[in-house]
């Protein structure tokens, strides 16, 4: 089996199987709006509104500025020198911009998905053609060249001699064939652009809402990678290059899904081995919450009446540490949690869950989680940390001021 598996991995790598790809993130927006990822017009409406300084987001030009910086990075200095745009000057943005009246023979009824006109600080005119191919549509013959010619004609008729035209494509896939040179902004890159912009949002509702849309954009790339991997795997299995069967793949997937459970049980077993003969240390899985390991020192919990215990959970990438309390007096339990550097209590399931905090009262990530990513968790190291936390709880319980 292992020989076959090694061969499978080697062959998949030869076929450019992406072993770094991740599953799409859960996003309520995509659940609510059916197939929203593939609706080109929906994305065009959203993108056009975000790029409009007078859009419904009421955040001015922050999205447009971030977008244009990313576009200009892909143009050489020979084509476009460093540009400072004047976002307060004359500005135009339109969707489905028809080029018919500007085409050479006035018969081309092509429509630019999003078209922007604006000036730089010295009054030079810029036309920005954005072609949205997020639904994986093919380019029409000479599509961008026709659009550029039409906008050139438009500028000439308006006597805008000192002008520059930039073209941008937002393709679904990085292998989308583009006949003309233009800036390529993949969906996940567009997500990065908008994420950098929301740092300057003055409205938390806008930034929170944008997070969902950014996830949607990034999921497009994640789904593309997963679908491409599926195609590669299918072709490999179809070619009969090894004795690996579909059922073998399924068995591996099932085993992988159970790894976090095995990690938790291994930690529980190691604690049991270390505490042999110590009747005060208790531990159990699933008592407070399914998928969580609870550990407590009976001498602290009951005899000292701290009513606190340590609870941890694991996934494929991280382990997370909480202090949990079932004390009814909220002021008392918050004070006890704070005395060992925990806070941000959240009630759930009849108990209160605390996370480690720093001096600013924010989550202390280094104490809250251990990340192991592509590696396996170090069970001994994790168990050491568990006992260190129990010792901290024990020391505080002996302090008469706790």
The full set of domains in the chain, from first to last, is 28-218 (no CATH), 259-397 (3.30.1460)
β-partners of residue 294 are 284, 311
Please say whether the beta carbons of 349 and 289 come within 8 A. yes
How far apart are the C-alpha atoms of 165 and 155, rounded to whole Å?
A: 10
Structure tokens given for 181: 């040179």
pLDDT digits (tens, 9 = 90+) for 2-60: 456 677 777 777 777 777 666 666 666 665 555 555 577 889 999 999 999 999 999 99
Lowest model confidence (mean pLDDT) among 80-84, 176-180, 332-336: 176-180
Go through the chain and tell me how many residues it has: 402
Burial class (CB in 10 A: 0-12, 13-18, 19+), 271: buried
Mapping DSSP to helix (H, G, I), strand (E, B) and coil, where does residue 13 land?
A: helix
Please say whether the beta carbons of 125 and 89 come within 8 A. no
Burial class (CB in 10 A: 0-12, 13-18, 19+), 397: buried
Q: Is the pLDDT of residue 82 over 70?
A: no
This prediction's pTM: 0.61
DSSP for 307-338 reads -EEEEEEE-SSEEEEEEEE--S-HHHHHHHHH
């Amino acid at each position: 089996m292992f020989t076959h598996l090694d061969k499978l991995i080697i062959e998949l790598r030869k076929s450019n199987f992406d072993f770094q790809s991740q599953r799409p993130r859960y996003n309520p927006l995509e659940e609510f709006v059916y197939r929203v990822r593939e609706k080109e017009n929906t994305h065009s409406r959203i993108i056009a509104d975000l790029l409009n300084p007078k859009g419904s987001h009421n955040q001015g030009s922050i999205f447009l500025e971030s977008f244009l910086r990313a576009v200009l990075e892909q143009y050489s200095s020979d084509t476009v020198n460093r540009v400072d745009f004047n976002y307060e000057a004359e500005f135009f943005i339109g969707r489905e911009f028809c080029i018919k009246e500007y085409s050479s023979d006035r018969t081309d009824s092509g429509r630019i998905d999003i078209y922007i006109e604006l000036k730089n600080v010295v009054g030079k005119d810029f036309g920005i053609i954005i072609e949205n191919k997020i639904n994986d549509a093919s380019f029409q013959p000479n599509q961008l060249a026709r659009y550029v010619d039409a906008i050139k004609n438009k500028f000439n008729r308006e006597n805008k001699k000192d002008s520059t035209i930039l073209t941008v494509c937002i393709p679904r896939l990085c292998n989308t064939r583009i006949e003309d040179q233009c800036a390529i902004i993949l969906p996940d890159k567009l997500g990065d652009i908008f994420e950098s912009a929301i740092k300057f949002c003055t409205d938390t509702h806008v930034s929170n809402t944008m997070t969902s849309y950014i996830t949607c954009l990034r999921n497009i790339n994640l789904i593309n990678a997963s679908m491409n991997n599926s195609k590669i795997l299918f072709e490999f299995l179809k070619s009969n290059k090894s004795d690996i069967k579909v059922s073998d793949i399924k068995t591996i997937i099932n085993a992988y899904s159970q790894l976090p459970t095995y990690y938790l049980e291994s930690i529980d077993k190691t604690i049991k081995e270390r505490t042999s003969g110590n009747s005060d240390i208790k531990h159990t899985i699933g008592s407070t919450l399914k998928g969580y390991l609870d550990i407590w020192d009976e001498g602290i919990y009951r005899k000292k009446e701290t009513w606190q215990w340590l609870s941890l959970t694991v996934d494929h990438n991280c382990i997370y540490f909480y202090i949990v309390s079932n004390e009814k007096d909220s002021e008392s339990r918050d004070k006890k949690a704070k005395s060992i550097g925990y806070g941000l209590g959240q009630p759930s399931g009849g108990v209160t869950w605390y996370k480690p905090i720093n001096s600013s009262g924010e989550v202390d990530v280094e104490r809250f989680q251990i990340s192991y990513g592509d590696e396996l968790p170090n069970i001994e190291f994790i168990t050491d940390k568990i006992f260190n936390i129990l010792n901290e709880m024990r020391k505080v319980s002996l302090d008469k001021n706790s």
